[in-house]
A = this chain, B = another copy of it.
Amino acid sequence: MKNFKITVEYDGRNFAGWQRQSPAAGPTLQGALEEALSRLCHHPVTLHGSGRTDAGVHARGQTASFQTSSGRSSLEIVRGGNCLLPPEVAIVAAEEVGPDFHARFSCRGKTYDYDFLVSPTRRPLFQGRAWWVGPHLAWAEAAAALPALVGRHDFAAFQSSGSQVESTVRVIHQASLSRPGPEIQRLSLTGSGFLRHMVRAVAGLLVEIGRGRLPAASMPDIIKSRDRSRAGPTAPPDGLYLARVHYDL
């Protein structure tokens, strides 16, 4: 048996998220990839993703692992897989890894990007791929709120209500805003892990701060409150990208 790690890019707009579900829920990334890899390997393949992404969320570097007895090479997995996958999904890299590697359990951290569309009008070339927030946000004020996120905190205030996880403590290593193009402000967060909707909740809060509804200095209190209602709305999935999964942080 060979154990493979694959890196996957996808446009999540037409998918009901990463995780395989009943067919009635719509196509999933895991389902599309398992189907393509099973055909390529001539046996049923079970794929372990680094984690789930929600409906409409994109990935530049989602990772997953699977075992195969097929003898396929990394190159065959990339080329053959991409011939069998729908256009919205592709395997951008594959490598054989040791038997103990598991995309989820070996994961040491993740980087998510959230793209805000900064424009006086909606922009068709960014449709479904960024959150249109208008041209007048105070981005320097929003950026001033980010350092308070860095470190080990209980992020319950940024977890979607109704979630049940053992601990809501996570470590954020890096939080920044950058401008990769004239129309885009990009929030980038690297952390040990993220609660459900956590990046979208941070994105929603930054817009509240950028619109002057909350001061940047309120971030520490909002974190301490552990109160979801303090942190503002959850941003839409359109702007969210799983950028990288880290195995050596």
Name A residues whose Cβ lies closer than 8 Å to a Cβ of B. Answer: 9-11, 58, 60, 78, 82, 87-93, 119-125, 127-129, 180-181
Contacts and interface: CB of A to CB of B under 8 A. Distances in A.
B92 A127 contact: no
A58 B91 CA distance: 27
Nearest to A79: B121
B11 A124 contact: yes
A121 B90 CA distance: 8
A121 B78 contact: yes
State the number of copies, please: 2
Main secondary structure of the interface of A (DSSP, over half): mixed
A125 B60 contact: yes
Nearest to A9: B124
Among A124, A125, A180, residue most surrounded by chain B Cβ atoms (within 10 Å) = A124
Nearest to A11: B124
A194 to B, nearest CB: 21
A129 B124 CA distance: 12
Nearest to A129: B125
B124 A88 contact: yes
Contacts of A127: 11, 87-88
A90 B122 contact: yes
A3 to B, nearest CB: 21
Contacts of A91: 121
